[in-house]
Amino acid sequence: MNIQEIARLADVSVSTVSKVMNGKDKDISKKTKDKVLKIIEENNYIPYARYRVKEGLINRFIGLVICKENPHYSQMVTSIESALRVQGFFPVVLTAEKEQEEIDNAVYELQKRGVSGILVDSSRAVSQYLENCKLVYLTDTSSFETKQKNTFYFHKYEAGRLSAIELLNAGHQKISVILREAEKIILDGVEAVYGEQNLPRQFITSYIGEDLNGIRQNGLISCVSDSSTAVICGDMEIVGCVLEYAEQIGIKVPEDFSVICVKDHEMLEYLAGGITAVGYPIRQMTVDAVDHLLQMVIEEKDSEVTRKFFPEVIKRNSIQDIGKRKDGHKIVIVGSMNIDDNIEGVRIPVNGETIIAKNILTLPGGKGANQAVGVGRLGGQAYMIGRVGKDADGRRLYKSLTDNGVHTDGVEFDDQADSGKAFVHIDRDGENAIVVYRGANENLDEAQLKRHENIFRAAKYCLLSSEISREAIMVVKKSCRENGTEIILKPSGLEEVGEDVLFGIDYLVPNEREMIRIYAGEDLTMEEKAEKLLQIGVKNVIVTLGKRGAYLKNKDHALYFPSAPFTPIDTTGGADSFISAMAVSLSEGKDLLYSIIYAIYAAGITITRYGVQNAMPDKKSIRIYMEDIEKQYAEIKKGEEEHIKCKKTKI
């Protein structure tokens, strides 16, 4: 549009238009002057904006300075454009780098062209602007300059908070976060929630990557393959990488692994049945900012308004509520917590012998703590009741539980006694012999158990091991009976296992040596002893047989289960792993035969690794053997009778 065209449209001469523009219009009738000004306004003739302002007409162009790398660029531009158009205004968009100078220049350019107002995408105030041009800032942080009079913002950090809360509410504790460098503030939000809920920071595995390549090469292995149950992804592309990787390693979303994206995108609706995401309040924020700016422009007045907007969770189908899934299937573990001195030699020393250790290693152990960690790592709900000394060993034992998702309300620190200790001799075949000093474990008494009675009330299974006092064992038995909690007992460390301990036990899980102690001196085979145990009220006897698998005796079955194909390096804790896996499987509603096979594989994995707690499998490592487990189970179900290999084993 130029002056000639305006003259033509108004049906006047060019000099008349010029006179109106320059205010030299005394000899021009009001009617003609109005006609010229109306055409100027309708056509948004920018060069003459100042005349239109002088005449009380409004320039209907509004500037938008937006950073090139703004991740919400297109959504912001579209939303601002439509909000302006509804009110008869039009956007003039200039993009800028994030540097202040670039933003200042862009604002200055727009002011020179006479726009009535400008929306500025920045957290810093522009250095100079003209009086008659109104400014409103838009930003995604709460740390903007206080000089910015009119600022509409949301805080990206809130997206991290919201995602963490969403996952914690669904029962996830160990989570991963994968972000790009520019979004790392989101991790602060996640960590803040963990701080508020007193959860250890170590439950969060994070990877901040420069680009998708880095994320693919390094981030996925650490974040999708560790023992976390859910991941927070920075954007839709990261979600894509996670889904691809999960498929490659056989992890199902959301059954095995939950996913939330901190930035919504329409494509997320179509990925893996719908990915839950955090929606930023871009539309609401831009519409309100436009309204506010136009109000300032139309009423020609300044204001000082700071308005915060909040992201919200858009629920789809990618978060598994593991809290709900496990309701009523809590597992309480009562037993020892020891620091293990693992002494590796060619053989285990016998009377009068001194041998040289090849290696020694000090690690958290104890049957109770091992079983609790085993349950936690397999995704079960583990509640530990145990006692440690008020010493560095005690703190280490406690931390190992929290690191593995075990609830530790029932763990107490003893003022008087040191933490329990175990001296574990391991020979070159991985076989072991253990000497336990009970220490604080011995002081786990009725009073402590009563303080945590509520845990028994909520638990379906109790894993009980006997490196604690006989008095404590009897109190646990009573609490379980009163609360309908089924006991899985490992009868180790007892000089003599009396019928008072064994009576009414739901699952008794001894090894062969422990079976020898039971009814010692009576000339009975293992099967006969198992039968005798059933007669005194043990419901299921499950003997772990090391390289030969396991044996089950109950009212319906007398079955031998083969071992899993693993070569042992260190058999310590194999039985703890067996018990925790069996309990998790039962708590998930699987039957006993399946749970024993599952437990054999879990124990098999543990003995191929050195140590105990760190050697326990998580769900992902056992999943590799799922086909074998299912196959064996199908075989056992098919021919239960054929499978009974009742070769009487004399012990």
Give contact residues for ligand RIB (rule: CB under 6 A): 336, 338, 340, 365-367, 370, 422, 434, 436, 467, 572-573, 576, 612
To ligand RIB, the closest distance from the beta carbon of 524 in angstroms equals: 26
- Give the nearer residue to ligand RIB in terms of CB position, either 37 or 436: 436
Q: How distant is the alpha carbon of residue 325 from its chain centre?
A: 16
Is 360 exposed, middle or buried (CB count within 10 Å of its CB: 0-12, 13-18, 19+)? exposed
To ligand RIB, the closest distance from the beta carbon of 340 in angstroms equals: 5
3 state SS of 450: helix
- Give the nearer residue to ligand RIB in terms of CB position, either 566 or 578: 578
To ligand RIB, the closest distance from the beta carbon of 422 in angstroms equals: 3
To ligand RIB, the closest distance from the beta carbon of 590 in angstroms equals: 24
Torsion of CA 602, 607, 613, 614, to 10 degrees: -100
What does the alpha-carbon distance between residue 557 and residue 542 come to, in Å, rounded to a whole number? Answer: 11
What does the alpha-carbon distance between residue 609 and residue 160 come to, in Å, rounded to a whole number? Answer: 36
User: Any alpha helices (H) in 157-202, and if so which ranges?
Assistant: 157-169, 185-196
- Give the nearer residue to ligand RIB in terms of CB position, either 386 or 410: 386
What does the alpha-carbon distance between residue 41 and residue 44 come to, in Å, rounded to a whole number? Answer: 5
Closest to 531 measured CA to CA, from 498, 501, 557, 565: 557
Radius of gyration of the chain (CA): 36
- Give the nearer residue to ligand RIB in terms of CB position, either 189 or 611: 611
To ligand RIB, the closest distance from the beta carbon of 230 in angstroms equals: 30
Which phi and psi angles does 650 have, rounded to 5°?
A: -80, 125
- Give the nearer residue to ligand RIB in terms of CB position, either 189 or 365: 365
What does the alpha-carbon distance between residue 423 and residue 343 come to, in Å, rounded to a whole number? Answer: 7
Element (DSSP H or E) covering residue 620: helix 619-623
To ligand RIB, the closest distance from the beta carbon of 445 in angstroms equals: 19
To ligand RIB, the closest distance from the beta carbon of 561 in angstroms equals: 20
To ligand RIB, the closest distance from the beta carbon of 484 in angstroms equals: 28
What does the alpha-carbon distance between residue 18 and residue 390 come to, in Å, rounded to a whole number? Answer: 92
- Give the nearer residue to ligand RIB in terms of CB position, either 70 or 544: 544
E-assigned strands of 268-349? Answer: 276-279, 306-309, 312-314, 330-334, 338-344
- Residue that has been written with the tokens 């002056």 in this structure: 3
Numbers of helices and strands, H then E, in the chain: 26, 25
To ligand RIB, the closest distance from the beta carbon of 370 in angstroms equals: 5
Tokens of 246: 């999960």
Residue type, 214: G
Bond from prior residue into 491 cis (ω within 30 degrees of 0):
no
Which phi and psi angles does 281 have, rounded to 5°?
A: -80, 45
User: Any alpha helices (H) in 113-180, and if so which ranges?
Assistant: 157-169
DSSP letter at 422?
E
Q: Which of 140, 393, 576, 618 is catalytic?
A: 576
- Give the nearer residue to ligand RIB in terms of CB position, either 148 or 613: 613
Residue 533, CA distances (Å) to 344, 462, 495, 524, 550 in order? 36, 20, 18, 12, 17
Bond from prior residue into 254 cis (ω within 30 degrees of 0):
yes
Closest to 23 measured CA to CA, from 52, 3, 44, 1: 52
Closest residue to ligand RIB, judged by C-beta, is 365
Catalytic status, residue 235 = no
Q: How distant is the alpha carbon of residue 603 from its chain centre?
A: 26
Catalytic residues: 576
